[in-house]
Chain A
Amino acid sequence: MSAVTPSVSLKPSGGLRRRQIVNRIMELLGWSAALAAVGVLFIVIFSVLVQAWPALSWDFLTKPPALFGQPGGGISSAIVGSAIIVGMATAIALPVGILIGIYLTEFAPRFIAQPVQLVLDILNGLPTIITGIFVYGLLVIGHGQSAYAGAFALAIVMLPLVARAAQETLLLVPSVLREGSLALGVSRWRSVTGVILPTTLGGILTGAVLAVARAAGETAPLLFTCSIFNPAVSTDVTKAMPNIPVLIFTYSEQPDKALHEQAWGAALVLMLFVLVSSLLAKALLARSRGKLGR
């Protein structure tokens, strides 16, 4: 089989060649941008791992901070405090958020649903330090800092996340299910609590877990509400409790190598929690999507 020799060269030349070079350069830039993002993530994770390594020990996780000037000590009181504060915040934000989601998808007329959604999005974009200042003015002035003030501030951060997640999942419920239940003569409230909510449980839980992960790392709302505390383990919610984000923040501001090491250790604990939560959320989402047949 003899090839036909084209009379014109098929090699790109002139304008086409230039266009292809430009294209190649742009593709290369795209690759390097993706590489840069992933690179920064790995550098941060790697730094935390390497720097936190010397601090990690059983004592670090189970002992409260050492007294001033003494070596050793751990972050147990901050872990306990963070768990209590975030737990209380979740107990406030989760039910209210789910109720808002239900209202927006099941009951609200359009002219009410849209402004409420706008309000949720604006609450979500509010600088979290402002949330802290608000709660400071509301609960701290005259009463002093407390764990419940911190929890309330974190709940405000979580609320729009939970509400929007609930709303988005509820919208995925096939209308066949909703109409079928009503057609069987099931009352509205029973169809919501007995049919619609159970199918969306996975999606709502995903949103809740992501909101908890976000709240656990938030520092700004706690700065004016729950930051001046006794370092010992405490379960009194009317007093400020030690917590991980504020501990990292205050330690990082000190010119003390030992405290920096502890801050890195606490940062690793926090990052692990956030990472595990995100993975858990992903798994929950995949499972609920499977259930809804999407």
Chain B
Amino acid sequence: MAAVQPDYSVSSSSRRLSDRIGDVAIKVITALAALASVVLLGAVIWKVIHLAWPAITKYGLSFITETTWDPVKRQFGALAFIYGTAMSSLIALVIATPLAIAIALWLTELAPGGVRGIVGSLVEMLAAIPSVVLGLWGILVLGPFLANHLEPWLHDHLGFIPLFGEPSPTGTGLFTAGLILTIMVVPIIASICRELFLQVSNELEEGALALGSTRWEMVRGVILPSTRTGIAAAIILGLGRALGEAIAVTQVIGGGTNISVNIFGPIDTLASKIAAAYQGAGSGLEASSLLYLAAILMVIGLITNLFAQVIVRVFDPLKGSH
């Protein structure tokens, strides 16, 4: 560090000019950077809505409830993709939530000291796999496996449930997309839950054990109830990730516009429909309809995120445990 000249005067006006300028400058510059981030978010929202505006004024809100997407007939609606987004996220969350909570519990309560750190890092590494690599794996490895083994098995044994209809011939479809999203969402929920579970007070946990409850009863009676809100926020954050994932889903979901109960069928999500059009849309009308889809996705994504952040901030995620 550079030596500071001794300055015995107290009055601030006699401080060196460079210091006075520097103090103001650093405050202003850093504040401008922070302001830039706020402006950036505002600009994103404004720009996306602005891009979608021609389609918004043309179709109005009925675009959201219209099921047809037919470039030939020049008829466009978003419902099929909203359905695809909702179903793929639902499949992912239904599988990922119990799995992630179990992993977090294992990491905090059961894991032997030696492997705890390693498995924790490996779960984090799962989140670091680029989505395009996961999609590549999904289309070339997971898809064929599902098409040849899991989907026929589910169809044969649980076919009476309409969800498990005709297996897909190539392994691309809503179900595959849901599984790939599961892999992306599990590490997110697991790492948040792990932090939550670590913060539950030891006195409560040990008290429950001392009263004779088994480890599972302690988890069910102490840990889970006291971290409820935090877990909810974690799940919503996972949902935000699942809703917005475009690349991996485009690779494995097959692409289609038919709403079908059969989860093995091909469809598109909002994000994957937009991504699939990257080489250009057929007509100007189709392009602006795609931008309308982007605006819908943005609004859903913003609301989901805001909701999760508000839960984290307003509610103490550990209410009741302190």
Of B23, B50, B131, B251, which one neighbours A189 at CB under 8 angstroms?
B23
Q: Are A194 and B246 in contact (CB under 8 A)?
A: no
What are the residues of chain A within 8 A of B2 when measuring CB–CB? 190, 194
Total interface residues on B, CB under 8 Å, equals 94
Residues of B close to A137: CB separation below 8 A: 47-48, 50-51
Whether B122 contacts A127 by the Cβ 8 Å rule is no
Interface size on A, residues (CB 8 A): 92
Stretch at the interface among B158-166, B215-223, B257-265: B215-223
Cross-chain contact of B271 among A43, A129, A253 (Cβ < 8 A): A129
Partner of B1, one of A194, A214, A282: A194
Whether the pair A38, B122 counts as a contact (CB closer than 8 A) is yes
Name A20's closest neighbour in chain B (CB-CB). Answer: B214
Write out the residue numbers on chain A whose beta carbons fall within 8 Å of the beta carbon of B125. 41, 275, 278
CB distance from B292 to the nearest CB of A (A): 11
* CB-contact partner of A34 in B32, B37, B103, B216, under 8 A: B103
**A44 vs B180: C-alpha distance when bound (angstroms):** 11
The answer for the CA separation of A102 and B94 in the assembled complex, in Å, is 40
CB <8 Å contact, B217 and A248: no
**B residues 271-322 touching A (CB-CB < 8 Å):** 271, 274-275, 278-279, 291, 294, 297-298, 301-302, 304-306, 308-309, 313
Of chain A, the residue at the smallest CB distance from B99 is A33
| Given A37-B126, A122-B309, also A248-B136 (CB < 8 A) | yes
Q: Closest CB-CB distance, A150 to chain B, in whole Å?
A: 12
**Do most interface residues of chain A lie in helix, strand or loop, or is the interface mixed?**
helix
Q: What 0/1 readout, one digit per residue, does chain A (22-53) give for beta carbons within 8 Å of chain B?
A: 11001101110110111011011001100100
The 4 A-B residue pairs with the shortest CB-CB distance, nearest first, are A127-B244, A217-B130, A103-B30, A33-B102
Q: Which residues of B contact A (CB under 8 A)?
A: 1-2, 4, 7, 15-16, 19-20, 22-23, 25-27, 29-34, 36-38, 40-41, 43-44, 47-48, 50-51, 98-99, 102-103, 105-107, 109-111, 119, 121-123, 125-126, 128-137, 139-141, 183, 186-187, 190, 214-217, 219, 237, 240-241, 243-247, 251, 271, 274-275, 278-279, 291, 294, 297-298, 301-302, 304-306, 308-309, 313
